[in-house]
Structure 1
Amino acid sequence: MEEHNSSLVVESSYPDLVINVGKVTLGERNRKKLQKIQREQEKTKVITAACALLNSGGGVIQLEMTNNDEHPVEMGQDLEESLRTLILSSNLQDFFKTKQQGRCYYIFVKSWSSDTFPEDSSFKPRICSLNSSLYCRSGTSVHLMNSREAFKFLKTKKINAEVLGKEPFGKVVKVITQDLHNSDPTYLVFQKDQLEYGEIVPFPESEFIEFKQFSTKRILEYVKNIIPVYITAFANTEGGYLCIGVDDRSKKVLGCAKEKVDHDSLKKKIENTIYKLPCVHFCQSQRQIDFTVKILDVLAGGELYGYACVIGVKPFCGALFSETPCSWMVKDKHICKLTTQEWVSMVMDTDPDFTWLCKDFESQLSLSSGPPLSRPVYSKKGLEHKKDLQQLLFPVLPGRLQCTPKSLWKELCSQNEGLEELINMQIYPFSQGILILSRSWAVDLNLKEKQAVLCDALLIAWNSPPILYTILREQDADEQSYCTSTAFTLKQKLVNLGGYSGNVCVITKVLHLSPESNAESSEGAASLIDYPRSYYIANTQQMEALLQSLVIVLLGFRSFLSDQLGCEVLNLLTAKQYEIFSKNLRKNKELFIHGLPGSGKTIMAMKIMEKIRNMFHCEANEILYICENEPLRKFISDKKICQAVTRKSFMKNDFKKIQHIIIDEAQNFRSEDGDWYGKAKTITQRDKDCPGILWIFLDYFQTNHVECSGLPALSAQFPREELTRVVRNAYQITEYLQRVLQEVRKNPPPNIPLGSLQMLLEAEWAQVVEGTLNIEENLPLHKIATYVADTCKLLFERGYSPKDIAVLVSTARDVERYKTELLRAMRKIKVVHFTNASNMSGDYIVLDSVRRFSGLERNIVFGIHPKTVEPAILYNILVCLASRANQQLHILWHRDV
């Protein structure tokens, strides 16, 4: 169960994370007058709030001063020192700014970002912690690791376990596990069952030995408290012994009187305490901590006086903690303590280490320089970098303040009298920057739309913090809540998604067009907090950095790589994709999107369904996704953003709850079961006053049959957009694609409208990424199987996994024909698992037909004899095959088929 801090309150009426810590005494003199317990309690509240904000994108700590100083006061040295310890820096200004407003005192907290310390690039913890709870042995002392030391320790442990395959080792392993020579005094003492009261043990404390006396009161509680520190310190170093009942100065055996402690209770308390210690493994063994507990009788004059105990512990293969690390985050408006596993995962979080990924993709945002909650962002090499996209979409022009997009600005002003004057009045004081208009910034940020809002406008200008204007026709009871929520989400995403590492806030303003309403309402709770000047954009460089983070927020989407890498990875839309995605859905209820192979149609289909959900307040079961093949249907269904069916299922069933329909790979639909297009149109137009969305994605070049598709005539496919930039495939594969696409254009199947193929003349090819194309002809079947097996073996040696590979054949019937021979060859490399395309998430090689793999992709594709019954579509099938491969394409033709 998550541990919450109930003494701290996250305020909900601000467009920022604001944590109210309650009453705190400030000022050095005032704090020195406090009782120690009160001073520590106040300090804990402040530093816990600071830790939570540093780890959650930054924000504001709000304090109510208990002292009545009329003049501004400093925090107090104990508070400042605690904050310095938290950020591992002597310069508080790196992350904290302060301001006193009356009886309120604000600490403005910037998000933690490890690139603040470039001088130590090797060991930069991803998050801040009050306490790592990781101890190690240093000479005769125990040492509590700070965040940076903990990161270095964990990184070393992980390398030893995963790369070197080392088990823990050290001098003390020999002491504990081997028979030592009888002259070794340590060995002789620890083999005894009893000791004499007052005798002096014949060895001192060392890195492997620690002496402790029993406490005079609450013996079992004392033992329970010291074990986590000393046992974890030994286990995290080279092992050792904790001897309780020996004076550390005189080395005399004193024990604990038998009247004060029970032999069995003492041993049980020790064992239970050790078993409860949190631990994290990096190796496969998952071994528990290896320790022994020995209770020794202490005799005085031949009689039992009491007991001493010796706890021996071996080095631990992972990391052993004294307790859950003390690190906090804000989750769903609660201050939550991270679990041990969460803490280790975040401290150790790094960019995916895949050589092929670095070769084919360009990093847009790295974890090594991003805030704690950010995820890596990549774009395909050859596509626009976030800087290029920013300059294209949100350019910053010297000495100018401009509105964008211009088409939306003109449309809004023509439809809403007085809007231009109202906005110009607001932006008049600013001389340089950009005003970004949207019909709903909430929808842009994946929030629900508020229909009363005419538009939103985000101002990013020199000498000002970002300002979000919400414009309504007249006053609305919920207006400030909407604007605050939108601004809060924007600020959080700029940092935690877009990776902005500077000081940032978003001020809110609600404006009204109606003359009956006040032209401008209250600026809301944000105006009550006067942010420092460091939150104002000071130069063009800051402005462009913030806008590039905004590009990631608006154009980022969860990459298909995420499932392959086992971590969240974002890609960026192209400018054209973003243009289509940004369309006003209320004015574009029906749209045909023609896209060349690898132009991102399925990604666009997924993104637009998310937008529909937020704009029209839909549930997933009110949005229908239709495709031809079961594997693609299942792939989309697993995303939980819609109801997904195949065309055949669509024609068999009623869909009374459906309001909106997205159709994908429509070129492969058939009219054999009826007029699917007519049925889809009827469903989306049931509500005549507010028809639903019907967007159809297709690519005639990938048509895999010669039947009637059921699509309307090309002239009736209006309005229409085209995606002509191929963004998926490596250079060698796109060269091959270009050749076969030209063959399709020259000799199209009879069911393809000629005009639809002219878009090939506008094609753009991202040709920076190197790949592999290999075509082998006239091979016997066993040679084909051997070729696949041998190539897979090389790929696995280079770090690829089965989930990177697909083997595609002509028809579903051919799967069984080739499977036996392929399995025989693959057994030689100990890979015998195939799956069909319906199980894309598993770590298996896909073996299926080209048709069933439509709409899906893998890094490496083997195409085995892609023949067709209909010669007219041979090149179409080759287009389908080639476009499925991101990096490597192997086409294997065999003889005598």
Structure 2
Amino acid sequence: MEECNSSLVVESSYPDLVINVGGVNLGDGNRKMLQETQREQEKARVTQAVCALLNSGGGVIRMEMANKDECLVELGQDLEQSLRDLIESLDLQAFFEFKQQRRRFYIFVKSWSSEDNFVKPRICSLSSSLYCRSGTSALPMDSREAFDFLRKRKAKILGKKSSSEVLSVINQNLNNSDPADLVFQKGHLEHGEILPFPKSQSVEFKQCTEENIQDYVATIIPQYVSAFANFGGGYLFIGVDDMSRKVLGCAKENIDRSSLESIVAKAIATLPVVHFCSSEPGVQYSTKIIDVFKGGELYGYLYVIKVEPFCCAVFSKDPKSWMVNDKDIRSLKAKEWVGMMTDPNPVPPSLSSCLIKLAEAFESQLSLSHRPPLCRPVYSKKGLEHKADLQRHLFPVASDHLRYTPESLWKELFSEHEGLEELINRQMRPFSQGILIFSRSWAVDLNLQEKEGVICDALLIAQNSPPILYTILRKLEAGGQDYCTRKAFTLKQKLVNMGGYTGKVCVVAKVLCLSPESSAECVEGAVSPIHYPRSYSLADTQQMEALLQALVIVLLGFRSFLSDQLHCEVLNLLTVEQYELFSKNLCENRELFVHGLPGSGKTIMAMNIMEKVRNVFHCGTDRILYICENQPLRNFKDICQVTTRKAFMKNSFDFKNIQHIIIDEAQNFRTEDGDWYGKAKTMTQRANPCPGILWIFLDYFQTSHLSCSGLPPLSGQYPRAKLTRVVRNAEPIANYLQREMQVIRHNPPHNIPPRFLGMISEVEWAQGVQGSLKIETNLPIQAMFTYVADTCKCHFRKGYSEKDVAVLVSTTAEVERYKHDLLRALRKKRIMQLSDACDMLGDHIVLDSVRRFSGLERNIVFGIHPRTPESAILHNILVCLASRAIQHLYIL
């Protein structure tokens, strides 16, 4: 493995990735005077650092001029050529700009992005470490050749079912009638004998000129075994004259047969291999030591390695490619490198159900084809706003003036802090077009911890300026600039590596201090110790909007439940309504009742709010409690303590450190074990005069009982917020929900406040999402099970899987009553897996009650004989059932 040079230092005092490569001699004249070893060492340091930045979102290379020149110098032709080789382009300016400040020299590196995914690899490398056979030579593949080879090999493999089928599509020249194989089968040859075949695509000759044949063989194995394995297999004959084909052998006194076999086995076993197929074998090979006689006596040995075709990819060693990881620069292993190199699509074709779900229910908001290497895919539900629409709604750029946003926040801030408006206006005088985005804390917006003493933050996106992040402090204090720098660094990295921005970008960190006595400005530290080239300023409205669209993904992106199915990170976007709820000032909304309609994303919001609580109040997971009614929801939380309502009421000692409580699906809570609301409120208010957070999410339309819920009366649920944008369900299911909700509205159960039901008039439905709704009546119970099995089998033929399906019944007693018969019907269709909702992430069909599945979702939902002893809430149960289905709903 190519280790990273230990003299490279990632510096943490800048709002950007900055790598200090130390002293470097610059200028052609100076570099030509260096010894070759020193010149190559300096070049290696520079290219490793540049490669790491290209693959990590861009940044700055800082070097000290080791030569004594006082005047301006150029980088040097050999260094420039190494950069051209790295990006495989003559256009250095597309990715690099150079600047000298006294005796420091800077290389400004833009993040790598591929212009055409089918031509250009997704990451940069100094060497692929992959070899190919070209005629009679073993040649290293450059990045483009490696990318093309891997892409084509992967496409072939993914169309096959087994490694044997894979090998059948790879050109094989190795068979028993091959003359090379006939020689391989022999036990002895004569010295000087001419082999009856030449060097070729599958045959290589090497002479034994070294005394230490073991070391020589170990040296040549990586490139030749890699080349043969990747291109149809072949034979490596060691002891044959390259030109004449004469058998010369290796002198017997120079060979230790057992040692040679051991060295070869070790050398081949350590070659990195990467599989695209389901099999995991290493390189398959066999060896032969053939006696070579001269004048009737044993002279030596001909050593032959027969390399079988390899199904996937064999490397000579790990590729030479680097990334920045926190404060370290690490080299990529072959498997990670291949994954980043070739696959802009995060979904393996084997997970075809996920592909169907993405295609039918989601729209791509960020294609990885032309994006920086660390980007993750971003999707939103169909029928919702595109990131460009979200940007125009949240962060519009005026053509003729500088806009302050959000209006309610900056007016509130200006009224709270005397002198703040004057301070901000004075800072904005040089800028005539753009947008200034205020936040109580950009740190919290970026998932960082908030700092006390900060009045607010403001991000300036303006024409003819780089982005500037202002932090306004109440008073000047130590650490203010470092805090602002860390936020600016995080924002820059996320704009590129999460938001997918492909232009040249930096974020300037600037601290302002507002003195209440004098309203005076106080700037701590310089704007930036590194002065970026003018190309890092935003030139026009188009560039500003592109950057703001990346910002939309940074601010509205959250980890999708799809990530657990796809086994990779996938982001979804909040709606404007959800983002406005998420943006609420927690200090002014310590208690909040969130009324959300079915499928409006209440559980998603609960998870995001808990993340925000952790950052605003600097608390660990032991201080935040998530309470839900049903056990399965507990499996989704890893940022807090989690419990059910029953456990919360029974155990007080377990929650003695809790300061903040989030309650989900509260409409289904009951008072049978006591006053849960009173207990939660007491716990969150015990830290007077600064009580904790108590947010309660509920939807009366999904009430599943007629008992007292323990919630305050509607008039006492204040302050409150609403979620009326339904984003989960396909259009036929959404239409069914609307009809059932209207029935509830006109004839509500006695324990639902009638005033709440007026929310249905405010509902917005995502349009155009394909799906299906089928209601089958008068089916005997066994016929229902057969219907489920047949329909599942039909969906599975289309690419869905067991983990897409939930079968919901009315009660937990029915789960036990129906489980055996349903499983028997499924097994007749060779569907073997069935479990309850507590194992939601497993590869099986879920069978559970409607109540226990509340707050969860699956693509395909069957409701078997939905009913309830309390007829007054039947339509509520149907709403709860239907809202669980994303695409296909069957009510039997």
- In the superposition, the TM-score normalised over structure 2's length comes to 0.96
Give runs of aligned pairs for residues 724-735 of structure 1, distance below 5 A.
Answer: 724-735=724-735
Matching residue within 143, 146, 153 for 1:147? 143
Aligned partner of 1:168 in structure 2 is: 167
Greater CA drift, 195-204 or 228-237: 195-204
SS at match of 1:175: coil
Aligned partner of 2:324 in structure 1 is: 330
Matching residue within 231, 239, 249 for 1:245? 239
SS at match of 1:553: helix
Aligned partner of 1:221 in structure 2 is: 215
Q: Do the aligned partners of 2:420 and 2:519 also contact (CA within 8 Å) in 1? A: no
Give runs of aligned pairs for residues 193-342 of structure 1, distance below 5 A.
Answer: 193-216=187-210, 218-342=212-336
Aligned-residue offset at 1:635: 2.7
Q: Do the aligned partners of 1:666 and 1:697 also contact (CA within 8 Å) in 2? A: yes
Aligned partner of 2:603 in structure 1 is: 602
CA deviations 1:394-444 (Å, max 9, x no partner) are: 100111101111111111111111111111111110000011111111110
Aligned-residue offset at 1:548: 0.5
Change (3 A) 1:189 1:778: same
Aligned partner of 2:352 in structure 1 is: none
Matching residue within 116, 124, 127 for 1:131? 127
Aligned partner of 2:742 in structure 1 is: 742
Letter in 2 for 1:689: P
CA deviations 1:795-828 (Å, max 9, x no partner) are: 1111111111100000011112222222122112
Change (3 A) 1:517 1:209: farther
Aligned partner of 1:720 in structure 2 is: 720
Letter in 2 for 1:559: S
Letter in 1 for 2:842: G
CA deviations 1:727-770 (Å, max 9, x no partner) are: 11010000000000001111111111111111111111112112
Q: Do the aligned partners of 1:293 and 1:309 also contact (CA within 8 Å) in 2? A: yes
Query: Distance between the aligned counterparts of 1:847 and 1:751, measured in 2?
Result: 29
Aligned length: 879
Aligned partner of 1:537 in structure 2 is: 538
Q: Do the aligned partners of 1:5 and 1:334 also contact (CA within 8 Å) in 2? A: no
Q: Which runs of 4+ in 1 moved over 6 A?
A: 515-518
Query: Distance between the aligned counterparts of 1:3 and 1:563, measured in 2?
Result: 33
Change (3 A) 1:764 1:68: same
Query: Distance between the aligned counterparts of 1:274 and 1:51, measured in 2?
Result: 29
Aligned partner of 1:680 in structure 2 is: 680
- Identity, in percent, stands at 66
1:820 aligns with 2:828: no
1:375 aligns with 2:405: no
Query: Distance between the aligned counterparts of 1:782 and 1:159, measured in 2?
Result: 44
Greater CA drift, 7-16 or 73-82: 73-82
Give runs of aligned pairs for residues 691-730 of structure 1, distance below 5 A.
Answer: 691-730=691-730
Letter in 1 for 2:358: L
CA deviations 1:442-500 (Å, max 9, x no partner) are: 11000011011111111110000000111111111111110111000000000000010
Q: Do the aligned partners of 1:170 and 1:238 also contact (CA within 8 Å) in 2? A: no
Aligned partner of 1:355 in structure 2 is: 356
CA deviations 1:643-688 (Å, max 9, x no partner) are: 0100000001111100000000000000111100000000000011
Greater CA drift, 554-563 or 81-90: 81-90
Query: Distance between the aligned counterparts of 1:271 and 1:709, measured in 2?
Result: 70
SS at match of 1:130: coil
Aligned partner of 1:390 in structure 2 is: 391
Aligned-residue offset at 1:293: 1.1
Q: Do the aligned partners of 2:592 and 2:721 also contact (CA within 8 Å) in 1? A: yes
Q: Do the aligned partners of 1:474 and 1:517 also contact (CA within 8 Å) in 2? A: no
- In the superposition, the TM-score normalised over structure 1's length comes to 0.96
CA deviations 1:33-73 (Å, max 9, x no partner) are: 22211111111111111111111101011111112233322
Letter in 2 for 1:140: T
Aligned partner of 1:895 in structure 2 is: none
Aligned-residue offset at 1:170: 7.6
Q: Do the aligned partners of 2:174 and 2:233 also contact (CA within 8 Å) in 1? A: no
CA deviations 1:273-315 (Å, max 9, x no partner) are: 1111111122223223211111223333333333331100110
Change (3 A) 1:234 1:2: closer
Aligned partner of 1:651 in structure 2 is: 649
SS at match of 1:373: coil
Unaligned runs of 5+ residues in structure 2 are 350-354
Query: Distance between the aligned counterparts of 1:34 and 1:461, measured in 2?
Result: 46
Aligned-residue offset at 1:518: 7.5
Give runs of aligned pairs for residues 454-853 of structure 1, distance below 5 A.
Answer: 454-514=455-515, 519-524=521-526, 527-636=528-637, 640-654=638-652, 655-853=655-853
CA deviations 1:136-190 (Å, max 9, x no partner) are: 11110112122222222222222222213323148985634x3x2xxx6434432
Greater CA drift, 91-100 or 684-693: 91-100
Q: Do the aligned partners of 2:173 and 2:202 also contact (CA within 8 Å) in 1? A: no
Q: Do the aligned partners of 2:4 and 2:48 also contact (CA within 8 Å) in 1? A: no
Letter in 2 for 1:626: I
Aligned-residue offset at 1:632: 1.1
CA deviations 1:72-102 (Å, max 9, x no partner) are: 2222222222212221222111111111111
Aligned-residue offset at 1:517: 10
Q: Do the aligned partners of 2:5 and 2:45 also contact (CA within 8 Å) in 1? A: no
Letter in 1 for 2:147: F
Greater CA drift, 546-555 or 562-571: 562-571
Aligned-residue offset at 1:244: 1.2
Letter in 2 for 1:641: I
Query: Distance between the aligned counterparts of 1:631 and 1:273, measured in 2?
Result: 50
Query: Distance between the aligned counterparts of 2:642 and 2:560, measured in 1?
Result: 20
Change (3 A) 1:621 1:4: farther
Greater CA drift, 605-614 or 196-205: 196-205
Change (3 A) 1:832 1:169: closer
Query: Distance between the aligned counterparts of 1:105 and 1:829, measured in 2?
Result: 69
CA deviations 1:607-665 (Å, max 9, x no partner) are: 000000001011111100001110112333xxx11101000000011111000000000
Give runs of aligned pairs for residues 857-876 of structure 1, distance below 5 A.
Answer: 857-876=857-876
CA deviations 1:250-280 (Å, max 9, x no partner) are: 3233333233331221121111111111111
Query: Distance between the aligned counterparts of 2:149 and 2:356, measured in 1?
Result: 25
Aligned-residue offset at 1:521: 2.7
Q: Do the aligned partners of 1:4 and 1:334 also contact (CA within 8 Å) in 2? A: no
1:47 aligns with 2:43: no
SS at match of 1:661: strand
Q: Do the aligned partners of 1:564 and 1:804 also contact (CA within 8 Å) in 2? A: no
SS at match of 1:106: strand
Change (3 A) 1:3 1:582: farther
SS at match of 1:200: coil
Q: Do the aligned partners of 2:132 and 2:227 also contact (CA within 8 Å) in 1? A: yes
Query: Distance between the aligned counterparts of 2:357 and 2:171, measured in 1?
Result: 43
Aligned-residue offset at 1:221: 2.2
Q: Do the aligned partners of 1:666 and 1:696 also contact (CA within 8 Å) in 2? A: yes
SS at match of 2:521: coil
Query: Distance between the aligned counterparts of 1:83 and 1:322, measured in 2?
Result: 24
